């Protein structure tokens, strides 16, 4: 009986394997090349926001200006990333007390941009983030450094409202004292439809995402922070921080 040898073509096997693996490899490389520009853009935004926050940590030793950081971050990110469709930075707390730590500064940001993706998987990108740090209070105060565990420890917080330029009381959100005065708002398309720009301070030049001032109980205009028509405005901070800074409860609302 004659033996029969199986005949195999190793080159044919290579072609079959290549026809399976090569398309997968090309798709993988294409996806990677689509993701790299997105990561670079997000990294640029994070670096700009963190760098501005680092500078604010130093400035906060000598002054309190919760509006400045979001404005600086928004301006810098738009300048360094020209192809952003939109970018908004906003304050999430200034010199607040949380998780057992005081003088914390927190900001959030949201960005939208388009990405050239041949596979149409990542054409429109939305990136949000937040940063929290502590002002360099060790320069002027006898404080102990904080470790990672202290930042991660949860603690119940309660926020109140104060008038930073003058005033000695803290208020809750329903206090009529607040409703009769000015508050800081993020300029959005809805706010632009509801209010007109103040001609006195040139508020028309404010961009979407900028911080503006509006009157609660009267008026139909929004204003820049340096507008002469504003006599006082309030900000939101942690109740513990307000007490630490010498504020007492409002006699009207009880704080």
d(CA 139, CA 200): 40
Confidence band (pLDDT; 50, 70, 90) for 1?
very low
If we measure between CA atoms, which residue out of 176, 189, 134, 167 comes closest to residue 235? 167
Read off φ and ψ for residue 224, nearest 5 degrees.
-80, 160
Confidence band (pLDDT; 50, 70, 90) for 6?
very low
Per-residue model confidence (pLDDT) at position 146: 57
d(CA 249, CA 236): 14
The pLDDT > 70 percentage for the chain reads 70
Confidence band (pLDDT; 50, 70, 90) for 141?
low
Q: Is the pTM of this model over 0.75?
A: no
Question: Is pLDDT larger for residue 10 or for residue 116?
Answer: 116
Mean pLDDT in the chain? 76
Helices and strands (H and E) in the chain: how many: 6, 11
d(CA 119, CA 31): 8
Look at residue 104 and give its three-state secondary structure.
strand
Contact status, residue 144 vs residue 100, Cβ threshold 8 Å:
no
> Does residue 160 register a pLDDT over 70?
yes
Domain coordinates in residue numbering, the chain: 11-155
3-state secondary structure labels for all residues of 195-217: CEECCCCCHHHCCCCCEEEEECC
| pLDDT, tens only, 86-95 | 888 888 888 8
Per-residue model confidence (pLDDT) at position 190: 83
Question: Is pLDDT larger for residue 160 or for residue 29?
Answer: 160
Arithmetic mean of pLDDT, 219-226: 74
d(CA 248, CA 255): 8
| pLDDT, tens only, 178-215 | 655 667 777 888 888 888 888 777 888 888 877 787 77
Read off φ and ψ for residue 11, nearest 5 degrees.
-65, -35
């Amino acid at each position: 009986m004659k033996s029969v040898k199986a005949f195999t073509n190793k080159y044919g096997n290579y072609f079959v394997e290549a026809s399976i693996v090569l398309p997968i490899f090309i798709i993988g490389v294409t996806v990677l090349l689509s993701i790299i520009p997105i990561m670079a853009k997000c990294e640029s935004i994070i670096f700009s926001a963190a760098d501005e926050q680092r500078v604010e940590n130093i400035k906060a030793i000598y002054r309190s200006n919760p509006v400045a950081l979001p404005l600086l971050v928004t301006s810098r990110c738009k300048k360094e990333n020209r192809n952003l469709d939109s970018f908004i930075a906003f304050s999430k707390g200034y010199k607040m007390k949380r998780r057992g730590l005081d003088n914390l500064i927190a900001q959030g940001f949201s960005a939208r941009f388009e990405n050239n993706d041949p596979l149409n998987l990542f054409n429109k990108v939305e990136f949000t983030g937040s940063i929290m740090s502590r002002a360099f209070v060790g320069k002027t105060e006898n404080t102990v450094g904080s470790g990672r565990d202290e930042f991660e420890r949860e603690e119940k917080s309660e926020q109140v409202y104060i008038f930073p330029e003058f005033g000695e009381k803290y208020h809750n959100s329903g206090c009529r004292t607040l409703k009769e005065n000015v508050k800081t708002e993020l300029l959005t398309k809805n706010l632009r439809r509801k209010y007109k720009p103040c001609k006195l301070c040139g508020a028309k030049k404010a961009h979407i995402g900028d911080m503006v001032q509006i009157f609660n109980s009267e008026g139909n205009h929004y204003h820049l922070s340096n507008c002469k028509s504003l006599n006082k405005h309030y900000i939101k901070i942690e109740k513990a921080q307000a007490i630490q800074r010498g504020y007492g409860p409002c006699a009207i609302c009880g704080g």
